[in-house]
Amino acid sequence: MTPIIRLATAADIPAITAIYRHAVLHGTASWELDPPDEAEMARRREAILAGGYPYLAAESNGSLRGYAYASAYRPRPAYRATVENSIYIAPDAQGQGIGTALLRTLMSACAERGFRQMIAVIGDPAGGSVGSRRLHERAGFRLVGVAEKVGFKRGRWLDQMLMQKELGEGSASPPVS
């Protein structure tokens, strides 16, 4: 079934927190070691929205199955046209096209807001995040670098991969101030 992609609301925070909790405790996509509670996840969502970035939810069969958002790639003003994306899918919903639908919608929402570059920061690209790497490859992202053994989680050193895709006009002209 094709997921419904919509703006995430405050009512989605319990489901978002549960999805992220699983990712933190059982995976290597997130490098947090302790999962944040609902209050912290709500605070993070509000900060992203306040920054003018999109925060999306994916529903399927009446339940939240995944979420995605964009945020600042780096805090300095010269990076203002570049965003970093984050996508998390419920464990039992992975491989069903939800990530593809979320990423496609997120890229469009960012381009509509005038962002020109999207960066995917993928932790453990050869291990637990192979699906994320493939998702971004299918969406047209290209590899721009790998930082080796920069994180330590679940008893092992982890690499971090950077992938990039131009949005809208990309680098064809200066960003809107």
| pLDDT score recorded for residue 26 | 94
Round to whole Å and give the CA distance between 97 and 109.
Answer: 18
Task: Provide the CA 70 distance to its chain's centre, in angstroms.
Answer: 6
Give φ, ψ of 93 to 5 degrees: -115, 0
Flag whether pLDDT at 48 surpasses 70. Answer: yes
| pLDDT score recorded for residue 1 | 66
Domain residue spans of the chain: 4-172
Residues 21-35 have a mean pLDDT of 95
Closest C-alpha among 156, 139, 136 to residue 31: 156
Residues 112, 146 contacting (CB under 8 angstroms)? no
pTM for this model (two decimals): 0.95
CATH superfamily placement of domain 4-172: Gcn5-related N-acetyltransferase (GNAT) (3.40.630.30)
Round to whole Å and give the CA distance between 87 and 57.
Answer: 10
Flag whether pLDDT at 36 surpasses 90. Answer: yes
* Exposure string over 68-90, b if 16+ CB within 10 A, otherwise e: bbbeebeeeeeebbbbbbbbbbb
What Rg do the C-alpha atoms of the chain give, in angstroms?
16
Percent of the chain residues topping a pLDDT of 70: 99
